[in-house]
Structure 1
Amino acid sequence: MPKKTATKPSDETSATKAARTRERILDAAAHVLSRKGFAGTRLSDVAVQAELQAPAIYYYFSSREDLIEEVMWAGLARMHQHLQAALDALPAELDPMDRLMAAVDEHLRYQLSISDYATAAIRNSGQLPEKIRSRQLVEENTYGDIWRDLVDDVRRAGQLRDDLDPRTARMLVLGALSWTAEWWNPLRGSLDELVRTAQSLVRHGLAPVPQGEGGGTAQAAGQKARTRRKSAPAA
């Protein structure tokens, strides 16, 4: 039997160093992309952030687009892993609505304070050329599946209003949470305040209104407003 060739220590060291450098480039690109966007991200800026010479980036990534594609995919993949791990750690008997509230908390905190990757992925999702967006779309759908299951569990537990379409409700909630990356400013309010407000809006927006409170559903209120507009005399 032929002997296996032992890996030289110098080879292992080189491989480890290369992996660290590649990760440093990705971290730098995520930082730049989260702040300057797809159109404004230049390899020279990434190189400065990574403390490398710009040509060195091409040793790890064939092009600017290749680097950005990797960052965008990693942003969603890491957010997916983070949220799934957080949900798996919750008590199995936890109320479905409380699980959804935990997901709101984890999404906002990871997006706004933990990961440049997540911010970059969310902020630039609509700016990418089609040829580098396909890989991200797969991960977007996978992440969306977690939220679909959360909302479906809330519905099955009787904690979702009858007048709400579950898919529409889910897309509106996730869209609103993700959009905070565009406007939230820590100088104008704490992250804790943002999380509490978001949780309150989601909980009370989805939960059934107790009988005798609120004057009926929002759907009924909207119908009344439309009826009044139609019956109002023309100016």
Structure 2
Amino acid sequence: MPPRSPRVPGTGDQDTKSARTRRRILESAAHVLSRRGYAGTRMAEIADLADLRLPAIYYYFPTRDAIVEEVTITGVRRTREHVVAALDALDATATPTDRICTAASAHLEMLLRESDFAAAAMRNAAQLPEELRAAGLAEERRYGELWRELFAEAARAGELDAGLDPRGARMLVLGALNWAPDWWDPARGTLDDIQETARRLVRNALGGPCQQF
């Protein structure tokens, strides 16, 4: 079963039965979408995981795509907020490369431990129909701009290998991070280990040219 969101006292409508049911549907959909992919996500499986009859789902969401849209937008937003919080926690001595490594570690944490929403959003972006993805473009652009600025800061500080294409480097880093849920096995290595490996790989890859053969 997907993790349940904790009850937050004093949140008014957020704690109504209807709101809790809607949240449960989204959590179940995120769990299924993160594992099955867009093409393999079925309303019946979402309903079963949410412990609801299938017709009840349609009371809250008119179509499967309406659920997918909200899950993916939520996933990108939560990931951006988590990364921003990690960056804000750094002290003033952190270098631009430190900030990229911290962002990579926080992004990976969301994908592997904190949020099915994040994994669903990052792993399915390329699978979504154009009209469905368009609804989440504003949130994607906000998160993309955060990463563009991180790499621009490193380039301005002279910490980015001058031979690198900053856009290509950024996309390769994010692509590698987003692939992690497909192969990571917590029985074969802790999250801390994978995060440290990611930080070291990013730092070593961005800081100096590779020997050419």
Runs of 4+ in 1 over 3 A off after TM superposition: 12-15
How far apart are the structure 2 equivalents of 1:167 and 1:14?
40
Residue aligning to 2:167: 167
SS at match of 1:90: coil
Matched, 1:48 2:48: yes
Greater gyration radius:
1
What letter is aligned with 1:36? R
Residue aligning to 1:20: 20
How far apart are the structure 2 equivalents of 1:77 and 1:139?
6
How far apart are the structure 2 equivalents of 1:123 and 1:170?
17
**CA offsets 1:30-71 (integer angstroms, 9 cap, x no match):** 011111111221111111111111111111111111111111
Aligned 8 A contact 2:43 2:54 in 1:
yes
Q: Output aligned runs, 1:74-153, within 5 Å.
A: 74-153=74-153
**CA offsets 1:199-219 (integer angstroms, 9 cap, x no match):** 1111011113xxxxxxxx42x
**CA offsets 1:65-124 (integer angstroms, 9 cap, x no match):** 111111111111111111112212222332221111111111111111110001111221
Residue aligning to 2:9: none
Q: What stretches of structure 2 of length at least 5 have no aligned partner?
A: 1-11
The size of the alignment, in residue pairs, is: 202
Residue aligning to 1:5: none
Cα displacement (A) at 1:137: 3.0
Q: Identify if the C-alpha distance between structure 1 residues 13 and 88 changes in structure 2 by more than 3 Å, giving closer, same or farther.
A: closer
Residue aligning to 1:197: 197
What letter is aligned with 2:132? I
How far apart are the structure 1 equivalents of 2:121 and 2:14?
30
Cα displacement (A) at 1:130: 1.6
Q: What stretches of structure 1 of length at least 5 have no aligned partner?
A: 1-11, 209-216, 226-235
SS at match of 1:110: helix
How far apart are the structure 1 equivalents of 2:106 and 2:90?
12
For normalisation by structure 2, the TM-score amounts to 0.88
How far apart are the structure 2 equivalents of 1:201 and 1:23?
37
**CA offsets 1:103-153 (integer angstroms, 9 cap, x no match):** 111111111111000111122112111221112333222211111111111
What letter is aligned with 1:187? A
Aligned 8 A contact 1:107 1:177 in 2:
yes
Aligned 8 A contact 2:13 2:19 in 1:
no
Residue aligning to 1:7: none
Identity %: 51
Cα displacement (A) at 1:188: 2.5
Cα displacement (A) at 1:173: 1.0
Aligned 8 A contact 1:123 1:182 in 2:
no
